[in-house]
Structure 1
Amino acid sequence: MKLPIVAYGDPVLRKVCTDIEETYPDLQQLISNMFDTMYAASGVGLAAPQIGLPIRMFIVDTGADEDGKNGYKKVFINAEILEESGEPWAFNEGCLSIPDIREDVMRKPDIRIKYFDENWVLHEDQVTGMPARVIQHEYDHIEGKLFTDKLSLLRKTMLKSKLDSISKGNVRTDYKMRFPKQNKKR
């Protein structure tokens, strides 16, 4: 089932999320719904706060390359980034909660992360390149941070009116959204 994505300005996007237990109600259905929602919005990652849940869970699917290889698809529950390393590099990022805004963001290329998967198996992985970047973006969500927080003060000031418009629902998307300053869904 496709769920509405919470738009910029909603307080849930600024909450540091809480860990969940293996007994979290209907977890497998929630994971399935999150993948349906992400794919319908043409995303490569989606965090629980983006669907209104302040829990430490996110999903990633970077898709396969032209040869049908190198796909990276995972569920991250109660994740903790243990280390970020390497020379930071810029990449033009966007966010399903902040449609129509893309900005260059600096991130380190290598991470070490500990998390549970959807079967409650504990992992500690080294991840590099684009998957690491997507993980860092989604991890920021469960820490109450957005990619716009990484921009310069000048750039944030220049985007303020666009961000305010998004929170009021003055944006068009091909997916359902919930806007904090509007009482209806789109």
Structure 2
Amino acid sequence: MILPIVAYGSPVLKKKAKEISNDYPELDQLIEDMFETMYNANGVGLAAPQIGLSIRLFVIDAKPFAQDENLSEEEVKELESFKRVFINPEIVEEHGIDWDFNEGCLSIPDVHEDIFRKPEIKINYVDENFVEKTEVLNGLPARVVQHEYDHIEGILFTDRISNLKKRLIKSRLTNITKGKIDVGYKMKYPLAKKMR
């Protein structure tokens, strides 16, 4: 089932999410719905707070990034197979020199900004079967995970831009909050009269 994505300005996006246990109600269905919602919106990642649930869960399928012709064959293969469910994740290490990449977010449609992040991370999490995992990720997979991880920490990518850039996009963010934007997927806007 395709779920509505909550828009910028919704309080759930600014809360630190809570851990869940393996008896979380209908978890398999929730994960399936999150992937379906993400694909419907042409996203590569979706965190539970973006559908209004303040829990430490996000899904990623980085395959769309594999279309970039500047990537090596190895990078393409890695991105094509990078589909994961992250439950109760914890980034335990970050390494390297910050690099910038133009990021966007399904909760903040039509806003893109260059964001600096570390190129390598180590993350502990449990998968959809509650099997414990530890992975070291580099490049785009690391970046997508960091973006989604921010969501469960109550951080948006717009929190990582300069005050000047924030002022420049303030009216666009206000319009998103009010639902004064056209997107190709269902959204819940905190200050709109109805869901669109």
Indicate whether the TM-score tops 0.5. Answer: yes
Q: How does 1:54-93 map to 2 (within 5 A)?
A: 54-63=54-63, 65=66, 69-70=77-78, 71=80, 72-93=82-103
Runs of 4+ residues deviating >4 angstroms: none
Q: Which residue of 1 aligns with 2:105?
A: 95
Cα separation, 1, equivalents of 2:123 and 2:193: 38
Q: Which residue of 1 aligns with 2:41?
A: 41
Q: What's the secondary structure of 2:128's corresponding residue?
A: coil
Q: What's the secondary structure of 2:89's corresponding residue?
A: strand
Q: Structure 2, unaligned stretches of length 5 or more?
A: 68-72
What TM-score results when the alignment is normalised by the length of structure 2?
0.93
- The percentage of counterpart residues that share the same residue type is 58
Q: Which residue of 2 aligns with 1:5?
A: 5
Per residue, is there more helix in 1 or in 2? 2
Cα separation, 1, equivalents of 2:136 and 2:193: 42
- Give the counterpart letter for 1:47 in structure 2: A
Q: Which residue of 2 aligns with 1:142?
A: 152
- Give the counterpart letter for 2:17 in structure 1: C
Give the counterpart of 1:131 among 134, 141, 145: 141
Cα separation, 1, equivalents of 2:193 and 2:129: 37
Cα separation, 2, equivalents of 1:106 and 1:113: 19
What TM-score results when the alignment is normalised by the length of structure 1?
0.97
Cα separation, 2, equivalents of 1:103 and 1:167: 18
Cα separation, 2, equivalents of 1:48 and 1:183: 23
- Give the counterpart letter for 2:115 in structure 1: V
Q: Which residue of 1 aligns with 2:70?
A: none
Report whether the alignment pairs 1:174 with 2:184. yes
Q: What's the secondary structure of 2:137's corresponding residue?
A: strand
Cα offset, 1:34, TM superposition: 0.1
How many residues were matched structurally? 186
Cα-Cα RMSD: 1.1
Please give the per-residue CA displacement for 1:9-59, whole angstroms capped at 9, x wherever unaligned. 000000000000100000000000000000000000000000000000001
Q: Structure 1, unaligned stretches of length 5 or more?
A: none
Q: Which residue of 2 aligns with 1:119?
A: 129
Cα offset, 1:69, TM superposition: 2.7
Cα offset, 1:61, TM superposition: 0.4
Report whether the alignment pairs 1:158 with 2:171. no
